[in-house]
């Protein structure tokens, strides 16, 4: 239905025309004619051509943020969520908008009348939702805002690079390097382990499903294992669930089951982008320490076949097989770790 607000109606028409045909040297009179109004009406509502263009950019930016918020990121890791956002930003159909954005951004930085309004919220409107996402995944607010600001700067810088060079492959490679630095290399120096919080049960269950799917299992397989891939609040309340954080964000989880003297390593999963970064070893050391403190002398591990090598490397011994609790007929490696012969854990890696 047509809006009753004349300014909103004119703005909508201007957005459609400018994005479809570009701005170039289009005069206010030419634009007014194209969208069926007069230049005086545009001046009345927007003050100047620059003021109208700022309003156009702000409208498109708001639509972009809405589109990003509505991206289907269910089941995606943080790294893949950022990759999905990058694909959205670099959609070739958005090229005209990106060029227009940087053109007016430059004018705003020069203090040109009518353009300076673009600076209102130019950073915070993007930083705040990105930071909220990271905070919801366990990152400290200050760190989340700092990394969100860095992300905005990296994306805008690479977009400008793309527009200047048309080197899509080059900017994509640079963005992948940024993702690797953010989620892998930082994890090597900033891994801590703490007890899980009750409000993290759902996020940890999603992490477990992503980690399991990393090994190529089908959606049907993952769904069949849903119960075994679910972290329950009761387990967290009992103090049996540990989480690893890398760079302040959830990177892995493990549950200690059983009763002394023999326990079970359950729900041991690492976020896919953190596999191979040391997160798994740190988390496994932590669950050993927790088990020893609780009076356990042995740990049993019903392992995914893909993780067998990891557990053997950690000192566990293969003692047989165990039937899967989710897939009839599927047998899983069964290992045992003797906690009385020396542990690999490092107490300084564990908080809480």
Is residue 170 a part of any domain in this protein?
A: no
Average pLDDT over residues 333-348: 70
Does pLDDT of 186 surpass 60? Answer: no
If you average pLDDT over residues 303-326, what whole number do you get?
Answer: 92
DSSP E strands: which ranges in 273-323?
298-302, 317-323
Residue 104 lies in a domain: no
Rank 56-60, 118-122, 189-193, 280-284 by mean pLDDT and report only the highest: 280-284
For the cut 50, the answer to whether the pLDDT of residue 104 exceeds it is yes
For 40-54, the pLDDT digits (tens) are 888 888 888 878 878
pTM of the model: 0.55
In a domain, 57, yes or no: no
Run of H or E residues at 80 = helix 78-89
Report the percent of the chain where pLDDT is more than 90. 44
Q: Give the pairing of strands 262-270 and 298-302.
A: parallel
Whether 136 is covered by a domain: the verdict is no
The pLDDT score that the predictor gives to residue 189 is: 54
Contacts of 19 (CB under 8 A, 6+ apart): 60, 96, 97
Q: What is the CATH number of the domain that holds 307?
A: 3.40.630.30
How far lies 30's CA from each of 34, 47, 51, 96, 125, in Å?
6, 16, 16, 19, 32
Torsion of CA 273, 276, 278, 281, to 10 degrees: 110
Of the listed ranges 101-110, 149-158, 227-236, 252-261, the least confidently predicted one is: 101-110
Higher pLDDT: 94 or 42? It is 42
pLDDT at residue 292 tops 50 = yes
Total domains in the fold of the chain: 1
Q: Do 162 and 173 form a contact (C-beta atoms < 8 A)?
A: no
Please tell me the least confidently modeled range out of 66-70, 143-147, 321-325. 66-70
Token digits of residue 285? 């050391």
The dihedral region occupied by 166, where left means phi > 0, alpha psi between -120 and 50, and beta the remainder, is left
pLDDT of residue 4: 59
Contact call for residues 35 and 27 (beta carbons, < 8 A): no
Q: Which residue in 257, 259, 250 sits closest to 228, CA to CA?
A: 257
Q: Is residue 343 part of a domain?
A: yes
Q: Higher pLDDT residue, 230 or 15?
A: 230
Higher pLDDT, 22 or 110: 110
Residue 253: per-residue pLDDT = 97
Q: How far apart are CA 154 and CA 134, in angstroms?
A: 17
Instruction: Report yes or no on 264 lying in a domain.
Output: yes
Query: What pLDDT shows up at residue 344?
Result: 46
pLDDT at 2 over 70: no
Query: What's the domain range around 318?
Result: 191-349
233 assigned to some structural domain: yes
Mean pLDDT of 205-229: 94
Q: What is the mean pLDDT of residues 143-171?
A: 92
pLDDT at 219 over 70: yes
Question: Is residue 21 one of the residues assigned to a domain?
Answer: no
What pLDDT does residue 159 have? Answer: 94
């Amino acid at each position: 239905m047509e809006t009753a607000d004349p300014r909103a109606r004119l703005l909508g028409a201007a957005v459609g025309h400018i994005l479809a045909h570009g701005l170039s040297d289009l005069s206010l009179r030419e634009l007014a004619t194209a969208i069926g109004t007069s230049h005086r009406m545009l001046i009345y509502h927007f003050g100047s051509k620059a003021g109208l263009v700022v309003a156009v950019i702000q409208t498109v930016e708001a639509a972009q943020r809405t589109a990003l918020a509505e991206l289907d990121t269910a089941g995606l890791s943080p790294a893949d969520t950022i990759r999905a956002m990058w694909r959205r930003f670099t959609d070739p159909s958005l090229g005209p908008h990106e060029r227009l954005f940087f053109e007016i951004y430059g004018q705003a930085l020069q203090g040109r009348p009518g353009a300076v309004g673009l600076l209102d919220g130019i950073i915070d409107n993007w930083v705040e939702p990105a930071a909220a996402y990271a905070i919801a995944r366990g990152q400290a607010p200050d760190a989340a805002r700092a990394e969100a600001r860095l992300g905005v700067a990296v994306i805008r810088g690479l977009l400008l690079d793309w527009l200047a060079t048309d080197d899509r492959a080059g900017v994509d490679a640079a963005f992948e390097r940024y993702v690797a630095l953010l989620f892998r290399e930082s994890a090597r120096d900033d891994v801590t382990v703490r007890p899980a919080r009750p409000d993290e049960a759902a996020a940890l269950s999603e992490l477990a499903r992503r980690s399991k799917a990393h090994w190529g299992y089908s959606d049907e397989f993952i769904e069949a294992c849903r119960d075994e891939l679910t972290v329950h609040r009761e387990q967290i309340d009992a103090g049996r669930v540990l989480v690893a954080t890398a760079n302040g964000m959830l990177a892995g989880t493990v549950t200690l089951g059983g009763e002394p003297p023999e326990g079970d390593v359950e729900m041991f999963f690492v976020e896919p982008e953190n596999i191979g970064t040391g997160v798994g070893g740190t988390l496994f050391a932590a669950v050993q320490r927790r088990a020893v403190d609780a009076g356990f002398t042995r740990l049993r591990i019903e392992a995914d076949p893909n993780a067998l090598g990891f557990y053997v490397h950690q000192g566990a011994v293969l003692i047989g097989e165990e039937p899967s609790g989710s897939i009839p007929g599927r047998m899983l490696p069964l290992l045992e770790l003797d906690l009385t012969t020396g542990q690999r854990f490092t107490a300084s890696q564990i908080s809480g």
